[in-house]
Each structure stands twice: as structure tokens, then as C-alpha cells.
Copies of this chain bind each other. A is one copy, B any other.
Amino acid sequence: MSVLVSEVREGAYADSIVLMQLQSGLQRLDGVLSAGVVMGGAVNLELLRASDLLDAESQQARSDDLIIAIRAETDRQATAALSQVDALMKGRNTTETGDYRPRSLRSAARLKPNARWVSISIPGRFAHTVAHEALDLGCHVFLYSDNVALEDEAELKARAAAEGRLFLGPDCGSAIIGGIGFGFTNEVRPGPIGLVSASGTGLQTISSQIHQLGSGISHAIGTGGRDLSATIGGATAQQSLDLLDRDPATRVIVLTSKPPDRAVGARILAQAMNTTKPVVVHFTNSVIPASRLGNLHFARGLTETAETAVALSQTDSEPLSTTGEAEGRFLRGLFAGGTLALEAVQMAAPVLSPLHSNLGVGELAGLPDPTVSSGHTVLDLGADEYTMGRLHPMMDQRLRIERLEAEAADPQTGLILLDVVLGRGAHPDPAAELAPVLERIRSSQGPPVVALVVGTDEDPQDLASTTERLSAAGAKVHTEVSAGLEEAIRFCMPGTGPPRTPVQMEALQPPESAINVGLETLFEDLVSQKIDAVQVDWRPAAGGNERLMAILEKMKS
């Protein structure tokens, strides 16, 4: 026989470490068979049920309620154990070394006036206020906490960007600044590769694999997992790319994230292309534009990311930097081949925004009027709406030539991209029809034209003569598809300047001192790295009871 007792504390705050240690403490008490100390929520209730610790009262607990459940041999032992809870939790609040611990960030800063970094790992709903206090002190912030509201993150990052402070997080699991690790980090040797990562285990895996390959890390800047979302806009990634571009210790940059918002991803990749260094990009579970786009190298996984970065750090590669030539005007792709059009979309969609297409691809906007382009536009002129009752544009170029002339006359057009497919079945001499049009475009100072010629030297149309005549008429001709697409798309990518308030380079110096608010283990990790760190003995106002906190907040104002 055994007895189950439980207590639910509404809206009670408790550090996760405290919960774990409280649970161990209860389990050691006399007669206690098992104990569970968890917050509410479906998974935790299921865990209690699986451990035969769930009673009717606990079942009613909400996700911000604290549940303490104890199974003991006798009723008396169960009740005795329950009465120990407060004592066990209080015991935790004294330091083991007996050092004085400040109760606020402000008094911690007076203790460590050289601290440039504040590490925060208290529960997310309290983190917003403390992060602002850290920025008040002029510090950079490592914000480990998750469950911070997206609008709070946007506000904090906008402030940090305006004040030139690095703001890593929220939900930033990992960062290495000048060799010093915040959060979860691996011991990796110093080296020439700098990381910007909107993903914690991504940062850990790539940096560990770089170390395993014999190379090393200059800095690994975690941005928080939502940095490349539409709301946040890549605020921290932008600061970090700029820092690593200026950092003399960094020769190769790695940029990694879960799938970014398309427009934000495009902006960050344009910035990456404007750095002076090779950048290896891995957006997990995203479409890859190409193996390479200028100085950007796109990897197919975490391991390939590390391998590519190490290989690039060992070669002298000439950085290419020629974005922004279209000066705010747009790419116009007029394709006869559907797959070539889709290949252009694959390469353009991650880096050009806004992009429209009639290909019906994912989230890409279509064209309300198929006869009028808008923004960057990639058209498959072999699609049904253009070929109903007429020959395919590979045979009959009339429609495409009219569109070519219309795009050339559009002042919004930055560059025109064409495919010219040779071979049996196709038009017997496409260059004869295209060349006079291209010459007219050139002589009227129209936009540049890139032509992808698909064919072989044995095709009936004569590949060499086709490319010669198109070149002579002013087109930039490519017979290698990816090189041609790359030239066209890079030409149309926007130029980007540095952040309005660049972060000073000293942000990347190894921190000598730091303030930790939250998880004790993170404090201990800083100390173990010889950082002159201080732990704030932080408690939420009103013990974390949200109703009382709201009343306190009202009394303040």
C-alpha cells in the first residue's frame, strides 16, 4: 500500500534547477517512494501519470502552476514530506561558498564595473524587464531564456541595434565570444572561421565538426532562433555579419539558421554577398539556390557546412563583390523552357525580393496580369496561359520578342534574362530573330541582356554561330546554365550598407567579467572559464504570482 499526496501552487515561479533538486531532496526523505515536481502542461501531466503520481487535483493544474506530488508508504510520511517543500526550496537560496550575492543587476554592476556582458536565463516572462536593465547598463546581452514574446524581442533588438549593443537571443543556446563560451558550448580550438547562427545545436555541431577537422573558431555568435523571422528582420545577424567582416581573426564566415523569412533571408544574403569574405550558408531544411552565388557557398547539411568552411579557410579565394549594379531595378526572366524558368526561381527566390512568377511555386506571388511584370519577375512563356492555340515559344518566338521589347522599354527593368534552346524541334535559327531586337535594345541604352544558350556543337542551329551573333548584338551569353543565372541574379541583388549603428569591435574581445542572472550552472561555467563573474540572486516580484505582480506594477506608476 502507498499514499499519494499533492500540492498545486498557482502561478508559482521556480527555477528549473531548483525543481530538479527539490525532487531529488523529496525522494531522499523517509518513507518517500517517488516524487514529482513539475510545472503543469500536457507532457508533464502525462509524465506524472506514467509515474503513477497524478491525482485529480494535479490534473486541473495549468501550465504556469507548480505541481508537487509525493507517493509515500504512509499517510503521515507523505504529509511530512510535503511540509518539507518550503525548507528544501529555501535551502537552495544560500550560496555554497557563502559569498555575498547582489539581489539586482544594478548592484551586480557596481560590484563588477568592467562587465560588458550580461547572461540572462530566468523564465521568459520575466526576461524582458531584466534585459532592458542590462541594456540600461550599456552591456551586451546573452539571453538564454525561451518563451519571450516576439514583440518584446523585436523591441529589445531594435533598442540594442540603435545603441550598438549585441543582443544574442532570446532562446540563444550557445555563443563563443573571443574564446569564451556562453550557454551550451564545446571546447573548440581558436581558428579562422567565424559563425553567425540562429540555431544553438547548429552552432555546436558546426563548431565541433570544424574542430574535429583540425581547424578552429574565431567567434560563434548565436542570434536566437527567431532572428531571421519577418518580425525581427535579422537584427542580430546583421550586426554579427558586419562584426565578423571587420574582424581580422575571421577569414571565412558561416551563416546558419532554420528556414528564414524569404524577404529577411534575401536581405541578409545580400549583406553577406557584400562582405569581403567567403560565406558558407546553411539554412536547414530550405531550398538551396545553387552550389555557389558569388562569395556565397551553399551547403547541403551541417557536416558539409563545416567541411566547406575549413576548405575555404585553407585556400586563397578572390572575393567577388558586384551586387547593386541594377540600382533598385528588377530582374526580368523570359523563359521558353519551364525547367529553366524554375531553376531561375530556385536561384532567385532566396536572394531577390519581391519576386513574382507564373510558375505557381510555393509562397511566390503570381502575376495578376500575365502581360505585365512586377518587381523581379520570372516567366515561363511555355505555360498554358501563353501557349493556348499557339506554338511553344521554343518554336515560335513572336510572343517572347514582343515581351522582350516591352521589358526593355520598362524603366523598372534592371536586366533581362533569356534562354535560347537549340536542337531538333526548336526554331531553326533563333539568333536570326533575336539579334536585331537585342541590337535595338543596346542602341536605345536599354538594360543588359543575359542569354543562356542550351545546346551542343552538333545541333542543327550551330551553337558557335548562335552565341557569336547574340554576343555581337550585345547579349552576355552563357552556355553553362548556372554561370549565366548567377551573373544575372547577382547583377540584380541590392547593395547593402553596414548597420546604422555598427557594434564596436571590442564586443568580440574575450569578456573578462560578466553578470549572470538565472541558471546557476551557467554562472559556474563562466567561472570555470576564469571569468570574473557575479551571480545575481534574482527573485521575481511577488514570488512570480502574476496577479500580485500586476498590482505591484500599478502601484509603481
Within the complex, what minimum Cβ distance (angstroms) separates A258 from chain B? Answer: 6
Q: For A50, give the chain B residue with the smallest CB separation.
A: B402
Cross-chain contact A43 with B187 (CB below 8 angstroms): no
Cross-chain contact B201 with A340 (CB below 8 angstroms): yes
Which residues in B have their C-beta under 8 angstroms from that of A392?
173
Which residues in B have their C-beta under 8 angstroms from that of A256?
339
A residues 424-449 in Cβ contact with B at 8 Å: 424-426
Q: Once bound together, how far apart are the Cα atoms of A185 and B455, in whole Å? A: 9
Verify if A224 is at the interface (C-beta below 8 Å from B).
Answer: no
Verify if A458 is at the interface (C-beta below 8 Å from B).
Answer: yes
On whether A304 and B286 interact (CB within 8 A), knowing A185-B423, A454-B201, the answer reads no
Q: Once bound together, how far apart are the Cα atoms of A127 and B458, in whole Å? A: 32
Interface residues on A, range: 35 or more
On whether A482 and B421 interact (CB within 8 A), knowing A211-B456, A385-B41, the answer reads no
Q: Once bound together, how far apart are the Cα atoms of A287 and B350, in whole Å? A: 12
Q: Once bound together, how far apart are the Cα atoms of A291 and B181, in whole Å? A: 31
Cross-chain contact B16 with A391 (CB below 8 angstroms): yes
* Number of identical protomers: 2
Cross-chain contact B63 with A388 (CB below 8 angstroms): yes
Which residues in B have their C-beta under 8 angstroms from that of A291?
300-301, 304
A residues 111-168 in Cβ contact with B at 8 Å: 146-147
A residues 153-193 in Cβ contact with B at 8 Å: 173-174, 181, 183-189
Which residues in B have their C-beta under 8 angstroms from that of A346?
284-285, 301
Verify if A17 is at the interface (C-beta below 8 Å from B).
Answer: yes
Verify if A200 is at the interface (C-beta below 8 Å from B).
Answer: yes
Show 22 A/B contacts (Cβ-Cβ < 8 Å), sorted by A: A19-B389, A38-B389, A40-B389, A41-B385, A42-B385, A46-B371, A64-B389, A184-B424, A199-B338, A201-B337, A201-B339, A201-B454, A204-B421, A209-B481, A211-B456, A284-B342, A284-B343, A284-B346, A300-B300, A302-B339, A302-B482, A424-B528
